[in-house]
Structure 1
Amino acid sequence: MTTNGSLNRKLRMALCGGGQGSFIGRVHATAAVLDNRAVLVAGALSSNAEKSKASAPDYDIPVARAYGSIHELVEKELALPADQRIDFVSVATPNHTHFEIAKTAAEAGFNVICDKPMTFDLKQAEELAEVVKKSGVVFAVTHNYTGYPLVRQARQMIASGELGEINAIRAFYIQGWLRTRLELSDQKQAAWRTDPKKSGIAGCFGDIATHAYNLARYMTGLLPETISCHLKTFEEGRALDDYGTAIVKFENGALGTVTASQISHGRENDMWIEIDGTKGSLVWRQEEPNAMVVRANGQPHKIYTRDPNAPHMNDMGRAACRLPSGHPEAFFEAFANIYRAAYDAMILRAEGKPFETKDTVYPNIHDGVEGMYFIEQCVASSQQGGSFLPIKHPLARK
């Protein structure tokens, strides 16, 4: 079988961010090549040109293709012959830099895979959506939890009516690493996440509640209508929220809650979701991702395990699996599933064929815009004492 079908070659990747000390840059670089469909050939690994070049050997990037900015990257890559230049740019930098990088890459015709939140604010997100529409590039957002096999299993189960009509959703993302003012010690990850100039108008809710909300939307497909939110900063002196909870009213009448914390002692990356339908309910937990509990009154509780060969797995769940049952499959593989789906669209684009931009298996530009609207409306609601505000954005995917 040829690599990437008729393209018959690996897709060429450039990484923005990921310089020395980065966590998420290495995750992107690993996930992107997991299926042997891409190769990392260039990058702007740091806004400091010297640091970018110093970081290049960590990724086997030639020093000549380790650039000091997205603008230098685009200019010099476009000057290369078509059979050498990059196909896509992965954005793994702090929030306040996403827009310029993604916009510059898209305007140059390069596909984009961007970390979340997609931009610094809603205005940037809406402008970026227009750029992507005009340029016709493939644009994916790495809400990576949508890539887990049992999340996709649940999505298809809900869409096919196995749980009946969805009545309630409870989504949580609970951490404890910011219980103290870690940002005062110049810890890199804490410093930018708690800085309004780099993170945006929300802290905890922008960083992790967006994942919980996106997961609820992705799994159920329900469109939101209004939201009420209360945000709180418990660590005195911190500029942004470190705890919050929101109530979401959906168009079908369902109620949802989103709770996020970064100040709960002993909690690591405890994201979980519970979904209640008229025929049954389910619960899935990110820290135990290879099992999902499905319940119905009067029946034994069912534990769905991630098993690509088992009859209980549906098409979406099975397609997201790589390993036989019993071998844990998790964070890197989930990221890679987003990359894999985006690659399929990139190949269609390279072939001059149409590709889906809204109803995609991977989170897309519309999800990115909706995530920014979620953040903006949560902050506005909290400032108004929890007033219910509109939450359905015109660009939200159905």
Structure 2
Amino acid sequence: MVGESSQAKASRRKLRLGMVGGGQGAFIGAVHRLAARMDDRYELVAGAFSSTAEKSKASGAELGLPEARCYGSYAEMAQREARLKEGIDVVAIVTPNHVHVPAALEFVRRGIHVICDKPLTVGLREGKRLADALAKQPDVVFVLTHNYTGYPMVRQARQMVADGLLGKIRLVQAEYAQDWLTTKLEDSGQKQAAWRTDPKQSGPVGAVGDIGTHAMNLGAFISGLTLSELAADLTSFVEGRVLDDNAHVMLRFEGGAKGMLWASQVAPGNENRLVVRVYGEKGGLSWSQEDPNYLQFAPYGEPPRLITRGGAGSGPVAGRVTRVPPGHPEGYLEGFANIYTDAAELISAKIEGRAPDEGATLVPGIRQGLEGVKFCEAVVESSRKNGAWVKAAV
């Protein structure tokens, strides 16, 4: 990471990482492992990679792990690793949504740090169980991988809002559009489609939980605002699909700002079009995940300016999470790695009894997780009430 001395790199040890989920055929597991390796802060040493011991051991063998550290369940893994002299420091939970909290609780209660994929869980009551457990273990770090908050230009945008360059915020527009579920892909046996469209695994929402939570989190992260109310219209356009594949949501924030959010997985021509626009009394910002190294800043009454990652106008908060010179693209994996590296800084600071680097404290945690789950529940409630305004604050 930029700004870290060679002496600091030499003095630290790699954190011992375990993984729950992410076995053979799981896309996101490989992403988490790549992110963990990018800045050399972790070593994968154990895992419960699948729901059966046989599949878990096969996945672990492919990753070069000893059979004794490949477990048949996350409960077994938590119990045994907690007793080992050099057991895991931290676990990455990369399962379908319904497993997140039960797995996290097993490790949190044993003092093991947790990095968890989003959304936090399938219901607010369950999320609060985890929040209560974390309150009883104040030395345990919990990080939620809303990975888009790790992009340099996203952090640049957040800092510009915080510095008052946009003035009082009036509008927040967020959208995340995909097309991969335009047909009933889940009927083909495709693993990623199957669990995301199954309410037993995904919870009460489909596109909203999978990608809408990213859009909502990013809008709040950049603007610094807290969502208070929403009005939603959920649709399952594909015949026979139980969960939503499209959502239109109107937003009201504390302090009077308004917004709109669109999340769709049935919008042909869109791959991963995550876009956030924030407008205030003095100017506006616009950022697109598919072109992530650029941030458009438009001061009112002046020509728009294009701020590039690592270029003129890009400040130290973005520089801290920038690896290569401007013009060399950085994207999804690097943003994900920034979350992992910030998590490592928080965990290492706990282990070493010191204050963490201030920039690392930007990573999402349990509060953002609860906000995401409440957002999902409020969207469902509003849509069932024909788009009525409902409370969305935790």
| TM-score, length basis structure 2 | 0.95
How much has 1:79 moved relative to structure 2?
2.4
Runs of 4+ in structure 1 off by over 3 angstroms are: 1-6, 352-357
| Corresponding residue to 1:134 among 133, 136, 152 | 136
How much has 1:252 moved relative to structure 2?
1.4
Which residue of structure 2 aligns with residue 396 of structure 1? none
Contact map agreement 1:106 1:135 (CA 8 A) in 2: yes
How much has 1:57 moved relative to structure 2?
2.9
SS at match of 2:114: strand
Matches within 5 A, 1:10-89: 10-81=14-85, 84-89=86-91
| Corresponding residue to 2:235 among 227, 232, 236 | 232
| Corresponding residue to 2:152 among 149, 153, 159 | 149
List alignment gaps of at least 5 residues for structure 2.
Answer: 1-5
CA distance in 2, matches of 1:131, 1:111: 12
Per-residue CA deviations over 1:41-62 (Å, capped at 9, x if unaligned) read 1111111111111111332222
Question: Cα–Cα, structure 1 residues 26 and 277, in superposed 2: closer, same or farther, change >3 Å?
Answer: same
2:210 maps to a residue whose letter is D
1:241 maps to a residue whose letter is D
Per-residue CA deviations over 1:94-145 (Å, capped at 9, x if unaligned) read 0111111111111111000000011121111111011111112100000000
CA distance in 2, matches of 1:219, 1:274: 9
Per-residue CA deviations over 1:314-358 (Å, capped at 9, x if unaligned) read 12111110111111101111111111111111112112446699x
CA distance in 2, matches of 1:260, 1:356: 34
Which residue of structure 2 aligns with residue 249 of structure 1? 252
2:283 maps to a residue whose letter is G
- Is 2:175 the counterpart of 1:172? yes
Which residue of structure 1 aligns with residue 100 of structure 2? 98
CA distance in 2, matches of 1:40, 1:256: 41
SS at match of 1:360: helix
CA distance in 1, matches of 2:225, 2:256: 10
Contact map agreement 1:4 1:10 (CA 8 A) in 2: no
How much has 1:25 moved relative to structure 2?
0.2
CA distance in 2, matches of 1:76, 1:175: 41
Which residue of structure 2 aligns with residue 285 of structure 1? 288
How much has 1:296 moved relative to structure 2?
2.6
Contact map agreement 2:19 2:93 (CA 8 A) in 1: yes
Sequence identity (%): 46
CA distance in 1, matches of 2:71, 2:184: 34
SS at match of 1:184: helix
How much has 1:257 moved relative to structure 2?
0.8
How much has 1:293 moved relative to structure 2?
1.1
Per-residue CA deviations over 1:181-229 (Å, capped at 9, x if unaligned) read 1001111000000001110000111111000000011011111221111
How much has 1:64 moved relative to structure 2?
1.5
Give the RMSD, CA atoms, in angstroms: 1.6
| Corresponding residue to 1:125 among 116, 124, 127 | 127
Contact map agreement 2:22 2:50 (CA 8 A) in 1: yes
1:213 maps to a residue whose letter is M
SS at match of 2:318: helix
Which residue of structure 2 aligns with residue 317 of structure 1? 318
CA distance in 2, matches of 1:352, 1:293: 40
- How many residues align? The count is 387
How much has 1:74 moved relative to structure 2?
1.3
How much has 1:86 moved relative to structure 2?
0.6
How much has 1:69 moved relative to structure 2?
0.8
How much has 1:392 moved relative to structure 2?
1.4
CA distance in 2, matches of 1:231, 1:61: 44
Per-residue CA deviations over 1:51-91 (Å, capped at 9, x if unaligned) read 1111113322222211111111112212211xx21100001
Contact map agreement 1:201 1:240 (CA 8 A) in 2: yes
CA distance in 2, matches of 1:206, 1:167: 26
Which residue of structure 2 aligns with residue 203 of structure 1? 206
Which residue of structure 2 aligns with residue 299 of structure 1? 302
SS at match of 1:77: helix
Which residue of structure 1 aligns with residue 373 of structure 2? 372
CA distance in 2, matches of 1:104, 1:356: 28
Question: Cα–Cα, structure 1 residues 86 and 2, in superposed 2: closer, same or farther, change >3 Å?
Answer: farther
SS at match of 2:362: coil
1:278 maps to a residue whose letter is E
How much has 1:280 moved relative to structure 2?
0.8
CA distance in 2, matches of 1:256, 1:59: 44
Contact map agreement 1:228 1:248 (CA 8 A) in 2: yes
SS at match of 2:252: strand
List alignment gaps of at least 5 residues for structure 1.
Answer: 394-398
SS at match of 2:84: coil
SS at match of 1:292: strand
CA distance in 2, matches of 1:89, 1:79: 15
